[in-house]
Amino acid sequence: MNAASPVVREQELNADAQALFRYVLRLGDLSLVLGQRLGEWVGHSPALEEDLGLANVALDLIGQARLLLTYAGEVEGRGRGEDEIAFLREHGEYLNAILAEQPNGDFGQTIVRQVLIDAFQLEVYERMTTSSDERLAAIAAKSVKEVLYHLRYSGGWLVRLGDGTDESHARVQSALDNLWPYTVELFAEDALDRTMADRGVAPRLSDVQAAWLRRIDEILAEATLRRPKDRPHSWHGKRGQHSEHLGYILAEMQHLQRTYPGARW
Amino acid sequence: MNSVRADNRDPAPTLANADADRRLSLAWRALAAVEDPEIPALGIVDLGLIRFVTLEADGTLDVGLSPTYIGCPATEVIRRSVERALGSAGIGAFVVTQVLSPAWTSDWITADGRRKLEGYGIVPPERPAASMRDILRKARPVGCPRCRSTDTECISEFGSTPCKALHRCRACLEPFEYFKCI
């Protein structure tokens, strides 16, 4: 017994660390992939102000991703840093919900995607400030303020577009109809989400969903938009099964590190 | 500790205290001279980025530094400037610790910092937005730093740096920057 118990404990520790590693990747990859997507707008936005706005949000998201992926690397304990995790993982190792990787479309579609994810991150980070994991609590405390500001930007635009012209209203309503089914995955609780919530590391996704829905309904009401009906979903970006879009994102994002391994800024 | 030391030829504890005070004040003086790379009028101490300077048991000075925005490119420049300033301040061993929580807020900009911002033509932050209603409907007009008119509009929630938004005065027609509230 005496000889066996340390081994058992070590295995438990590894399983714990493995779960935390995957959970932190889910958070970090959501920020990283969305940040990369928003970066595609630089130089292409409808106006200079929106170029600045989207780039600034992207910068904050990549800042979040850096903190989270650095932490993931430490939890994993194999000596991987933020750059290796961001630039040298394969498609199936990315654990973001696939809403983040959906194409930018027109400006309205980008804004709809942004509102949906900003509100999600806001509800998650707000609750995570009291996480039993001190590091995540600190990252959440910092991120939640920035995310609130992101939602102010994206929510403000959704109201202007939704409650704007017939054309802008029709475009954002159609983007909302198209993107809504992907939101189901954000709240689809699996064993990992449950373990993290049980340990007090992460908030309960059902709580997050209820609060998210209240916030989204408030914005949609102001924007005179109609909330689409929930439909069953069959995607599992959080488990590493992605749409074809992620491959193109990674090809661009990882090109430099793969071509010139170890290149530094 | 002093009481067990009968030998008064060795005033080490007092010296050590004096030395600690000297190092702390040198450190603060060096930090006060570090400017924000994007708003040169403003020091990082004015911005409220230095959270603590403490003397560790092993004699190392620990300096707590918070980022304004986690993705702000100035964050690394500031950290290097802080290390350089402390390195040449003659304070001995030190470490710079990144402090994320509690998160930096624009409320921590000192009164002096707010004056400097205003003098530089950047409107200092007012108060953090409290509710969704505040967030969606820009609640309070921001006064123009030049003509003081409150007939202003927000052109962009984001400006030339992560910490600023872009506004325009409808009275004097000048654009101006507003330091975001977070």
Q: What is the sign, positive or negative, of the torsion defined by CA atoms of A53, A56, A62, A68?
A: negative
Q: What is the mean pLDDT of residues A192-215?
A: 97
Measured distance CA(A16)–CA(A10) in Å, rounded: 10
Tell me how far the alpha carbon of residue B38 is from its chain's centroid: 12
Q: What is the DSSP letter of B3?
A: G
| Complex confidence, ipTM | 0.71
For A214, nearest residue in chain B (alpha carbons): B132
Chain A 71-100, CB below 8 Å of chain B: which residues? Answer: none
Most confident residue range from A193-207, B66-80, B114-128 = A193-207
Q: How confident is the model at residue A144 (pLDDT cuts 50, 70, 90)?
A: very high
Q: What is the mean pLDDT of residues B33-42?
A: 88
The set of residues, in sequence order, having a beta carbon less than 8 Å from that of A163 and lying 6+ positions away, is A169, A222, A223, A224
Q: Do B38 and B125 have their domain in common?
A: no
Assigned domain for B114 exists: no
Q: Do B136 and B79 have their domain in common?
A: no
For chains A and B, what is the number of CB pairs under 8 angstroms? 90
Q: Do B87 and B139 have their domain in common?
A: no
B165: containing domain: 121-179
Q: What is the mean pLDDT of residues B135-141?
A: 58
Q: Do B41 and B102 have their domain in common?
A: yes
Tell me how far the alpha carbon of residue A192 is from its chain's centroid: 16
Enumerate the residues of chain B whose CB falls inside 8 A of the CB of residue A139.
100
pLDDT digits (tens, 9 = 90+) for A39-81: 999 999 999 889 999 999 999 999 999 999 999 999 999 999 9
Q: Do B70 and B13 have their domain in common?
A: yes
Q: Does A227 touch chain B (CB under 8 A)?
A: no
* B129/A148 touch (CB, cutoff 8 Å), yes or no: yes
The pLDDT score that the predictor gives to residue A229 is 93
Q: How confident is the model at residue B137 (pLDDT cuts 50, 70, 90)?
A: low
The pLDDT score that the predictor gives to residue A133 is 97
pLDDT digits (tens, 9 = 90+) for B82-114: 999 999 999 999 999 999 888 888 888 999 999
Q: What separation in angstroms does the CA of A76 have from each of A8, A19, A66, A168, A240?
A: 18, 10, 15, 46, 17
- Are A124 and A203 in contact, with CB atoms under 8 Å apart? yes
The pLDDT score that the predictor gives to residue B39 is 84
Q: Please check the confidence at residue A17 and state whether its pLDDT lies above 90.
A: yes
Rg of chain A on CA atoms, in Å: 19
The pLDDT score that the predictor gives to residue B162 is 79
User: Exposed (0-12), middle (13-18) or buried (19+): which is B44, by Cβ within 10 Å?
Assistant: buried
Q: How confident is the model at residue B140 (pLDDT cuts 50, 70, 90)?
A: low
Q: What is the mean pLDDT of residues B52-56?
A: 94
Assigned domain for B66 exists: yes
Whole-prediction pTM:
0.85
Q: Please check the confidence at residue B129 and state whether its pLDDT lies above 70.
A: no
The pLDDT score that the predictor gives to residue A13 is 58
Q: Please check the confidence at residue B164 and state whether its pLDDT lies above 90.
A: no
User: In the numeric block, which tokens belong to residue B151?
Assistant: 């007939």
As beta bridge partners, residue B94 has B61
Q: What is the mean pLDDT of chain A?
A: 93
Measured distance CA(A245)–CA(A91) in Å, rounded: 10
Measured distance CA(A165)–CA(A144) in Å, rounded: 32
Q: What is the mean pLDDT of chain B?
A: 83
List the one residue out of B58, B48, B162, B173 whose CA is nearest residue A145: B162
Residue to substitute from A51, A52, A60, A111, interface B, most B β-carbons within 10 A: A52
Q: Do B89 and B128 have their domain in common?
A: no
Q: Do B9 and B86 have their domain in common?
A: yes
Q: Please check the confidence at residue B46 and state whether its pLDDT lies above 80.
A: yes
Q: Does A243 touch chain B (CB under 8 A)?
A: no
Q: Do B16 and B100 have their domain in common?
A: yes
- Are A36 and A248 in contact, with CB atoms under 8 Å apart? no
The pLDDT score that the predictor gives to residue B20 is 87
> In which element (H, E) is residue B177 found?
strand B175-179
Enumerate the residues of chain B whose CB falls inside 8 A of the CB of residue A138.
100-101
Enumerate the residues of chain B whose CB falls inside 8 A of the CB of residue A50.
156
Q: Please check the confidence at residue A251 and state whether its pLDDT lies above 80.
A: yes
Q: Please check the confidence at residue B7 and state whether its pLDDT lies above 90.
A: no
Measured distance CA(A154)–CA(A36) in Å, rounded: 17
Measured distance CA(A232)–CA(A256) in Å, rounded: 38
- Are B73 and A115 in contact, with CB atoms under 8 Å apart? no
**Of the residues B78, B108, B138, which one is the last residue of a structural domain?**
B108
Assigned domain for B115 exists: no
Q: Which residue has the tokens 């405390």?
A: A141
Q: By mean pLDDT, which of A163-167, A215-219, B94-98, B106-110 is the weakest? A: B106-110
The pLDDT score that the predictor gives to residue B138 is 54
Q: What is the DSSP letter of A241?
A: B
The packing angle between helices B12-32 and B74-87, to 10°, is 140
For A31, nearest residue in chain B (alpha carbons): B71
* A152/B135 touch (CB, cutoff 8 Å), yes or no: yes
Q: What is the mean pLDDT of residues B23-27?
A: 94
Q: Do B128 and B152 have their domain in common?
A: yes
Q: What separation in angstroms does the CA of A110 have from each of A35, A145, A164, A165, B134?
A: 12, 21, 17, 18, 23
Could you give the number of structural domains in chain B?
2
Q: Please check the confidence at residue A1 and state whether its pLDDT lies above 60.
A: no
Which CATH number fits the domain that encloses residue B19?
3.30.300.130
Q: Which residue has the tokens 């505040």?
A: B134
Q: Please check the confidence at residue B35 and state whether its pLDDT lies above 80.
A: yes
Assigned domain for B113 exists: no
The pLDDT score that the predictor gives to residue A256 is 94
A96 against B161, higher pLDDT: A96
Q: Do B10 and B91 have their domain in common?
A: yes
Q: Do B128 and B90 have their domain in common?
A: no
Assigned domain for B171 exists: yes
- Are B127 and B135 in contact, with CB atoms under 8 Å apart? no
Q: Do B127 and B95 have their domain in common?
A: no
CA–CA min distance A260, chain B (Å): 23
Q: Please check the confidence at residue A4 and state whether its pLDDT lies above 60.
A: no
Assigned domain for B160 exists: yes
For B101, nearest residue in chain A (alpha carbons): A138
Q: How confident is the model at residue B19 (pLDDT cuts 50, 70, 90)?
A: confident
Measured distance CA(B86)–CA(B49) in Å, rounded: 15
Q: Which residue has the tokens 């190092």?
A: B23
Q: Where exactly are the structural domains of chain A? A: 4-259
CB atoms within 10 A of CB B55: 18
A12 against A240, higher pLDDT: A240
Chain A 202-221, CB below 8 Å of chain B: which residues? Answer: 215, 218-219
Note the CATH architecture for domain A4-259: Up-down Bundle (1.20)
The pLDDT score that the predictor gives to residue B10 is 47
User: In the numeric block, which tokens belong to residue B26?
Assistant: 């040198």
The pLDDT score that the predictor gives to residue B135 is 54
For A218, nearest residue in chain B (alpha carbons): B132
* B136/A155 touch (CB, cutoff 8 Å), yes or no: yes
Chain B 57-116, CB below 8 Å of chain A: which residues? Answer: 67, 69-73, 100-105
Q: Please check the confidence at residue B5 and state whether its pLDDT lies above 50.
A: no
Angle at B121 between CA B118 and CA B126, to 5 degrees: 50
The pLDDT score that the predictor gives to residue A9 is 53
User: In the numeric block, which tokens belong to residue B159?
Assistant: 């400006």
For A50, nearest residue in chain B (alpha carbons): B156
The pLDDT score that the predictor gives to residue A27 is 98
Measured distance CA(B92)–CA(B18) in Å, rounded: 14
